[in-house]
Amino acid sequence: MPSTSGSGEVPVRGKRADALRNQQTLLAAAAEVFVTSGVDAPIREIAARAGVGMGTIYRHFPTRADLVVAVYRHQVEACAEAGPSLLASAGSPLAALREWVGLFVDFLVTKHGLANAMQSDSSGFDALHAYFLDHLVPVCAQLLDAAVDAGEIRPGTQAYELMRGIGNLCIGRDSDPRYDPRRLVELLLQGLRRLPSS
């Protein structure tokens, strides 16, 4: 009997890889829209940015909360993966820390609408917060340790406290579009620098 393997059907594994790539593209587009327009941005704006129909978004994410949570997890993972990559490719550990903090600020700007999107699911929100801490605090600690070891910043800053400080500086962005937390975050990073010996 003739084999059916040459029937032109895409193997299941190939379909899964394509679907995963498409979902990653959609989540990246949603994250960009959330940064500029907030988590209440129209779904059609996200669909246009991703180059898909609105039905595709609703098929993957039936509710806005589902989409926001998926974007949150996607950004946590991207931010966690970026740390070691930046450390390997940036000109110095402090440059890597600065670039990573920029990604973290983008993530925090998106995250501020998360609580509103998950109004009725406090346990889900708590689980996401734990996911955030488990994935990002060690990466920030690695970047801080590398910058201390390189003599670029003073020792003694804990990753959690730095991330908490950055988070607090990002809060005003929601209520005042004229407020840019990046300037104050940069001042915070400058305060970490080791001063030259006199």
User: For the segment 6-27, what is each residue's pLDDT rounded down to a tens digit?
Assistant: 444 444 455 577 777 778 889 9
Helices (H), the chain: 12-37, 43-50, 54-60, 64-89, 93-111, 114-117, 122-149, 159-170, 181-192
Clarify whether residues 73 and 170 are in a common domain: yes
Take residue 116 and report the two structure tokens written for it.
Answer: 């509103």
Q: How many domains does the chain have?
A: 2
Flag whether 123 is in a domain: yes
The confidence band for 176, taking pLDDT boundaries of 50, 70 and 90, is confident
Listed residue (87, 107, 119) closest to 166, CA to CA: 107
121-174 confidence digits (pLDDT tens): 566 667 888 898 999 999 999 999 999 999 999 999 999 999 999 988 888 766
First-to-last alpha carbon distance for the chain, in angstroms, is 86
pLDDT at 115 over 60: no
pTM of the complete model = 0.76
Per-residue pLDDT, 72 = 86
Domain that holds residue 40: 10-62
Domain presence at residue 54: yes
Q: Confirm whether 2 is domain-assigned.
A: no
CA pair distance 39, 32, nearest whole angstrom: 10
